[in-house]
Amino acid sequence: MNCSRFLFRLSVLSLAVFTTACSPNRMIGNHVRSYTIEHALPVILKSNDVPVICHANEGMGPLVMSFTQFGVETDMMLAFGLAGASICTENSAIEKELWSALAERQGWTNAAQDARLAQQLLNRDAGIRQIRSYQHTVDYFKKQYNYDFGEGNCPKIKLEVEELLLLVGATSALQALQNDVSSGRLINVDMGIPPKIVHAMACLDNTKWWGFPKSVQAH
């Protein structure tokens, strides 16, 4: 009797595991991930239409996040997506900064103050997206390589897209810091991040990545 119960429970557990592993949602999510990284990302990197890129990333973000609950690896897509989505927000902040300067020159004090406040809020929003992009990058390398970003020995990165991810994540963190300052420290970015970025740059080939790693380390 006890043996029968054990076998019954084991069969139920096995069925649950099998069902979860082969769930349609997980299969769809894995296909979306593969297509995005293998086909969509190269097209995006070649595109000059910045508004289309960032708004597409804004729209696709919730869809990508929804696959996380089904065990799909989404950190890479979210890191790229949030970095892309932050571009338009950052551009809007620059536009408000220009309006603030113009209004101040014209003596429109209230308009200048309003534009300045709007700029700070947009800097905050852009910085939040960028720091989230960095965090997804950190999570990716921790899960895939057991690598604590910017600490210890560099992982033996297998794919070029992972090198790009490291570069984008690091750049996003530095941009987040800049936007944090411009917002009046509304985000309060951890100041322990920049030294980690400098250390992580040693994991990339300087010549291959346009001299960016060395330029970061020099600062």
Residues 6+ apart with CB under 8 A from 119: 93, 96, 97, 100, 182
Residue 17 lies in a domain: no
Is residue 6 a part of any domain in this protein? no
For residue 95, give its domain range: 23-218
Q: What is the pLDDT of residue 16?
A: 45
Confidence of residue 22 (pLDDT cuts 50, 70, 90): low
**Position 84 in a domain:** yes
Count other Cβ atoms within 10 Å, centred on residue 87: 19
Residue 8 pLDDT: 44
Whether residue 126 lies inside any domain: the answer is yes
Number of structural domains the chain divides into = 1
- Does the structure show a pLDDT above 50 at 157? yes
Query: Does residue 138 belong to any structural domain of this protein?
Result: yes
Decide if 12 is inside a domain: no
13 located within any domain: no
Instruction: Say if 183 falls within a structural domain.
Output: yes
Contact (Cβ atoms closer than 8 angstroms) between residue 120 and residue 209: no
